[in-house]
């Protein structure tokens, strides 16, 4: 059974860093591209970035480019989101995601709050 468990969010001051993680199980993790999304209150869910299954190539939304980095540890079936120089507008629930066949699977989300 596919399961994605996100964790590692929290409260941080502007300019600080966090590193949420997404632990995956129930599928061949190394064969799939993975994604991070976020959703702020009152706003649509947006794609933060993705990492491919083979080369590990990444891409990012313009709003986070240069500040965020996605990585994966296939041995531990875990994806990470390194967030640096956090801004109040980064405040959101962050979700990991994978698309398998005709289905989308989502983690439960982890709250990131950036505030002084």
- Output the average pLDDT for the chain: 97
Express each pLDDT in 85-99 by its tens digit.
Answer: 999 999 999 999 999
Residue whose token pair is 């980064």: 90
**Confidence at residue 107, expressed as pLDDT on a 0 to 100 scale:** 98
Report the C-alpha gap between 64 and 48 in whole angstroms. 7
Categorize the per-residue pLDDT at 54 as very low, low, confident or very high, splitting at 50, 70 and 90: confident
Residue whose token pair is 């632990």: 23
Give the three-class secondary structure for 10. Answer: strand
**Beta carbons of 59 and 69 less than 8 angstroms apart:** no
Name which of 50, 69, 56 is nearest 30 in CA terms.
Answer: 56
Mean pLDDT over 1-15 rounds to 98
């Amino acid at each position: 059974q596919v399961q994605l468990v996100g964790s590692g969010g929290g409260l941080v001051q502007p300019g600080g860093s966090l590193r949420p993680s997404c632990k995956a199980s129930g599928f061949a993790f190394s064969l799939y591209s993975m994604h991070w999304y976020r959703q702020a209150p009152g706003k649509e869910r947006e794609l933060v970035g993705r990492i491919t299954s083979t080369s590990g190539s990444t891409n990012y939304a313009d709003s986070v480019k240069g500040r965020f980095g996605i990585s994966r540890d296939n041995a531990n079936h875990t994806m990470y989101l390194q967030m640096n120089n956090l801004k109040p507008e980064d405040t959101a629930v962050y979700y990991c995601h994978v698309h398998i066949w005709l289905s989308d699977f989502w983690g439960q989300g982890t709250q990131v709050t950036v505030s002084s």
